[in-house]
Each structure stands twice: as C-alpha cells, then as structure tokens.
Chains A and B, each alone.
Chain A
Amino acid sequence: MNKLHSALIIAVVSLVTAALRFAPFLLFGKRRRKDGGLISWMSAVLPFAIMGMLVVFCLKDISFTSAADWMPQLICCALVAALQYFWDNTLLSIICGTAVYMLLVQLVFI
C-alpha cells in the first residue's frame, strides 16, 4: 500500500468536503440580498426541507424483507417524534428512543 497515495486521498476528501461547506458563503456571502429574492427564500425554507431529508437519509438502509429490518427504526422514530411533540424535551426524547432501540435490536429483533 502506497502511503503517499493514501495521504493524498485523505487530502482530496478533506478539500472537497471543505469546498462544499465553504462554497455557498464564497458564492453568495458578499452579495447584498434583497428581501423576497431567491436566496433569502431558500435560506428561510431550506432548514425545514433539510431536516425531512436527513430523517429519510438516516432510514435509507431499512428494507421490508423481514420485520427486523424496519420495525426497530420506525417504531423508535415514532416514539421519539411523539415524546418530542408532547414533552418538548430533546434529551429525554433521544435517550428514551435510543434506549428502546438498543433493547429492540439486541434482545427482540435479533
């Protein structure tokens, strides 16, 4: 294995990742935005759409071939959503949801 090549791969991955994170600020950061413009509309509504996207992104590996491949995730997502909706305590929702999930994948759906 060529160490230099490995180091270069890591450098490329780092640079492309950083470039993607910095690009919007470099492209649109300096420009003065008028209210009602496309960029200000996008920055207002994107957070809502992005969180929906991230939730689905986390669940991308579920499949419906056997119960163990989807039930723990979907049950616990519903549990977390319900806890958060009614109690409004982020840490509590995450701890309960994760604990139940761990029980399910370790003891119930093996």
Chain B
Amino acid sequence: MTRAQVVKKAFKTSLPVMAGYVVLAIGFSLLLGEKGFGFWWALAMSVFIYAGSMQYLTTGLLAGSVSLVSAAVTTFMVNARHLFYGVSMLEKYKDMGPFKPYIIFGLTDETYSLLCSDAEDLPLAQRRLYYFLVSLFNQIYWVTGTVIGSVIGRFLPFAATGIDFALTALFVTVFVQQWKQTDDHVPALIGLGATTLCLVLFGGNSFLIPAMLLISAALFALKVIRSRKQQKEDADE
C-alpha cells in the first residue's frame, strides 16, 4: 500500500465518526457558550480534554465553579472506562514509535471502536501511520465542530436533531462486526449483560465503574473456568 492509499483508507475508516463528532461538538460549543464561555475556551477544551461526554459535563463544572478535587473525581468516574481501552490496546499500540503519545492521547470511545479490531494485517510502518491518521482525523472533526459551534452555531437550523445517533449506530455496527468475527460470544454477552445489570441497579449516573468491575470479574472468572476445563481435559487424555 502506498502512503496515499494509507491516507485514503484512514479517511474512509474515520467517515462514520465525522457526522457524529461535528454535530456533537457543535452542541458542546453552544452549551458552553450559554454558560458564558466563548470560542477560546471551547477550542482549548476540545484540543486538550478531547473527550465528548466529559466536555459536556465540564460545562456544568465550569458554570458551578466546582473545586479542583471534585473536578478530578468526576473526571475519574466518567472516564475510567479509558483504562479498559488502554489495556486492550497494549499489544496493538506497542510499536507505534513517535506516534505513540498522540494515539494514546486520542483514544476516545469512537477512535477505540474504529481501531480495536482493524488493520492487523498491515505492515508495521503503515499501521503506525494508519492508526495515527484515524486518531488525528477524528480529533480534527471534533475541533472543527467546536469551531463551527462557537462561531456560527446560533444561526444553525435545528433540523439536525437526532443526528448524534450516528455514534450509537457506530458502536452497534462494531459490536455486530465483532460478533460475526468470532464463535465465542461469551465476552460480548458479559459486556452487554453486566452493563445492563449495573445500569438497572445503580442508575444512569453511576453505573460505569461498577460495570467495569463486574466485567473484569466475570472475564477473570471465565479465564479460570476455561483453564480448569482445559487442565481437566488434558489430564483425561
């Protein structure tokens, strides 16, 4: 694959994120603007925080002028799921060379779902460039939406209601894609089941960390059960 083809492939991969990010970032800028924070604030947040749902929440933290400790705790609660992304990308991002800091920084929900099962067959040099570009394109969409939102957002018509479903749809397609790639559906069902259970038990604001703990415990149990079974089969032979 030539360099130009890698760029093209990365662009094509990132397309599903484009609409969702631009629209959600416009919404973020508008919300932040309503709280009295203009263009430069919005831009700084989209460049340095670069985490969608957290930026929405941070508009509230800013308006309420909360303490730095509670800002840190809230961020930890909301973004702890990024620990999972890192653990599952340890192998794939191992040899990313000079691109590594940026692609780790840019590992959002959406970038993760585009890259977690993609491009494993590319040679290393191209894979580096590809992961870097997909990460970068996504942040460019996010920053572009932020700029559009704070500059002309108030003049946009509201017919875009519902377009943010694009990101939900993206996660569903990746889920289905992964489902088709494997015969072992237990991990996927653990993810769905454990999270649903915690949502019902703990409610929409505080279910993520319990869900992560439950998923970790269930996956660990699955490993133990399977290796015991394996040992038993080995012993029977």
Contact = CB atoms under 8 A, between A and B. Distances in A.
Interface string A54-85: 11111111000000000011001100110011
A84 B41 CA distance: 39
Interface of A: 1-2, 5-6, 8-14, 16-18, 20-25, 28-29, 33, 36, 38-43, 45-61, 72-73, 76-77, 80-81, 84-85, 88, 90-91, 93-94, 97-98, 101-102, 104-106
A84 B168 contact: no
Provide the main secondary structure of the chain B interface.
helix
A100 to B, nearest CB: 9
Interface string B88-131: 11110110000010001101010011001100000000000000
A29 B90 contact: yes
A24 B92 CA distance: 13
B83 A94 contact: no
Contact of B48 (A10, A21, A41): A10
B134 to A, nearest CB: 13
A25 B76 contact: no
Contacts of B204: 60-61
Contacts of A55: 168, 171-172, 175, 192
A51 B178 contact: yes
26 contacts: A6-B62, A20-B80, A21-B104, A22-B105, A23-B86, A24-B86, A41-B223, A45-B187, A47-B117, A48-B188, A49-B188, A51-B174, A52-B192, A52-B193, A53-B84, A57-B81, A58-B167, A77-B169, A81-B172, A84-B177, A85-B179, A88-B177, A94-B169, A98-B19, A101-B165, A102-B165
Interface of B: 15-16, 19, 36-37, 41, 44-45, 48-51, 54, 58, 61-62, 65-66, 68, 71-72, 75-76, 79-91, 93-94, 100, 104-105, 107, 109, 112-113, 116-117, 159-163, 165-180, 182, 185, 187-196, 199, 204, 207-208, 211-212, 215-216, 219-220, 222-223, 227
Contact of A46 (B84, B169, B207): B84
Contacts of B62: 6, 9-10
A47 B81 CA distance: 12
Contacts of B227: 36
Contacts of A54: 109, 113, 171, 175
Given A49-B219, A61-B204, A8 B68 contact: yes
B109 to A, nearest CB: 6
